[in-house]
Amino acid sequence: MEILIKNSLTITDQKSECLVIAVNADKTKSAILKEVDDATNGFIHQLIKSEDISGELGRTAFLYSGSNNLKQKLLFVGCGKLKEFDLTRAKTIIKAVITTLIEKKVKNISWDLLTICSAINHDIVKQLPQIINDITYNFDQFKSKKSPLPNLNKITLLFSDKKQLKSITNYLVQGQIIAEAVNATKTIANMPSNVCNAQYLAEQGKKLGKKHTSLKVSCLGEKELAKLNMNAYLAVGRGSENESIMTVIEYNGAKDKSAQPYVLVGKGLTFDSGGISIKPAAGMDEMKYDMCGAATVYGVMQAVAELALPINVVGVMAGCENMPDGNAYRPGDILTTMSGITVEVINTDAEGRLVLCDVLTYVEKYQPKAVIDIATLTGACIIALGHHYTGVMGNNEQLVAQLVTASNNADDKAWALPIDDNFQDQIKSTCADIVNAAGRDGGTITAACFLSRFTEKYQWAHLDIAGTAWKSGASKGATGRPVAMLVEYLMAQ
Catalytic residues: 279, 353
Torsion over CA: 415, 421, 426, 431 (sign)? positive
CB 36 within 8 A of CB 74: yes
Identify what 292 binds: Zn ion, ligand BES, Mn ion, none; CB under 5 to 8 Å per kind: none
Which range in 48-56, 96-104, 190-198, 348-356 contacts ligand BES by CB under 6 A?
348-356
Among 198, 225, 350, 400, binds ligand BES (CB under 6 A): 350
User: Would you count residue 274 as binding Zn ion (CB under 5 A)?
Assistant: no
128 scored as a contact of ligand BES (CB under 6 A) = no
Binding site for Mn ion (CB under 5 A): 272, 349, 351
Contact call for residue 321 and ligand BES (CB under 6 A):
no
- For ligand BES, give the closer residue by CB, 352 or 482: 352
CB of 238 to ligand BES, least distance (A): 16
Q: What is the length of the chain?
A: 493
3 state SS of 124: helix
- Is residue 349 within the footprint of ligand BES (CB under 6 A)? yes
The verdict on 290 binding ligand BES (CB under 6 A) reads yes
Q: 106: buried, middle or exposed (CB in 10 Å: 19+, 13-18, 0-12)? A: buried
The CA-based dihedral angle spanning residues 119, 125, 130, 132, taken in that order and rounded to the nearest 10 degrees: 110
Residues in CB range of 283: below 8 A, 6 or more apart: 472
Contact (Cβ atoms closer than 8 angstroms) between residue 348 and residue 322: yes
Q: In Å, how far are 154, 358, 370 from 260, measured between CA atoms?
A: 42, 20, 9
323 binds ligand BES (CB under 6 A): no
- Give yes or no for residue 378 binding ligand BES (CB under 6 A): yes
Question: Least distance from C-beta 356 to Zn ion, angstroms?
Answer: 10
Q: Which stretch binds ligand BES (CB under 6 A): 67-75, 151-159, 207-215, 375-383?
A: 375-383
Our finding on whether 356 is near ligand BES (CB under 6 A) is no
Residue nearest to Zn ion (CB): 272
DSSP 171: H
Interface with Zn ion in residues 296-355 (CB under 5 A): 352
Cβ 373 vs Cβ 362: under 8 Å: no
Vertex 274 angle, CA 380 and 374, to 5°: 50
In the complex, least distance from residue 454 CB atom to Zn ion, rounded to whole angstroms: 17
Identify which of residues 35 and 349 has a Cβ nearer to Mn ion in the complex. 349
Listed in sequence order, the residues at least 6 apart from 149 whose beta carbon sits closer than 8 Å to its beta carbon are none
Quote the CA–CA distance of 176 and 173 in Å, as a whole number: 5
User: Hey, which residues between 347 and 386 contact Zn ion (CB under 5 A)?
Assistant: 352
Task: Let me know: does 270 contact 198? Beta carbons within 8 Å.
Answer: yes
186 in helix, strand or coil? helix
Query: CA-to-CA distance for 94 and 386, rounded, in angstroms?
Result: 26
Q: Could you tell me which stretch among 193-201, 248-256, 359-367, 376-384 binds ligand BES (CB under 6 A)?
A: 376-384
In angstroms, what is the minimal distance from the CB of 307 to ligand BES?
A: 30
Residue 272 makes contact with ligand BES by CB under 6 A = yes
Among residues 466, 483, 484, 486, which is the contact residue for ligand BES, using CB under 6 A? 466
Contact 372, 459 (CB under 8 A): no
Looking at residues 240 to 269 of the shown chain, list those that interact with Zn ion (rule: CB under 5 A).
Answer: 269
- Interacting residues with ligand BES (CB under 6 A): 272, 290, 347, 349-352, 376-380, 437, 443, 466
- Interacting residues with Zn ion (CB under 5 A): 269, 272, 290, 352
